[in-house]
Amino acid sequence: MSAWVLPDHIADVLPSEARHIEELRRGVLDTARGYGYELVMPPLLEHLESLLTGTGEALGLQTFKLVDQLSGRTLGLRADSTPQVARIDAHLLNRQGVARLSYCGPVVHTRIDRPLASREPLQFGAEIYGHAGQEADLEVIELAQACLRSAGVSGLQLDMADVRVIDAVLAPVSLTPAQETRIHAALNAKDVAELEVLARDLPAAVRHDLCALPNLFGDVAVLDEAQRVLQPSPALHAALDGLRWLASHAKGQGMAVSIDLADLRGYAYYTGMRFALFALATEGGSGQALELARGGRYDEVGAVFGRNRPAVGFSLDLKELVAAVAPRPLVAAIRAPWGMDASLRQAIAALRAQGHTVVCALPGHEHHVDEFHCDRELVPDAAHHGAWTVQPLQTEISQ
Its sign, for the CA torsion 303, 305, 311, 315, is: negative
Name the band, by pLDDT with cuts 50, 70 and 90, for residue 23. Answer: very high
Q: Residue type at 271?
A: T
Higher-confidence residue: 295 or 155?
Answer: 295
Distance CA 194, CA 258 (A): 25
Higher-confidence residue: 16 or 137?
Answer: 137
Instruction: Report in angstroms the alpha-carbon separations of 118 from 28, 45, 317, 318, 351.
Output: 20, 19, 10, 11, 39
**Residues contacting 169, CB < 8 A, separation 6+:** 206, 209, 210, 213, 230, 231, 236
Neighbouring CB atoms inside 10 A of 381's CB total 15
Opening angle at CA 138, ends 134 and 140, nearest 5: 115
Across the chain, mean pLDDT equals 89
Please write down the HEC assignment for all residues of 263-277.
CCCCCCCCCCEEEEE
* Residues of the chain above pLDDT 90, percent: 69
- Using the predicted structure, report yes or no on whether residue 396 has a pLDDT greater than 60: no
Mean of pLDDT values over 358-377? 82
pTM of the entire structure? 0.89
- pLDDT for res 312: 96
The 10 Å CB-count burial string (b at 16+, else e) for 356-378 is: bebbbbeeeeeeeeeebebebbb
- Using the predicted structure, report yes or no on whether residue 3 has a pLDDT greater than 80: no
Distance CA 324, CA 239 (A): 32
- pLDDT for res 284: 47
Name the band, by pLDDT with cuts 50, 70 and 90, for residue 10. Answer: very high
Name the band, by pLDDT with cuts 50, 70 and 90, for residue 283. Answer: very low
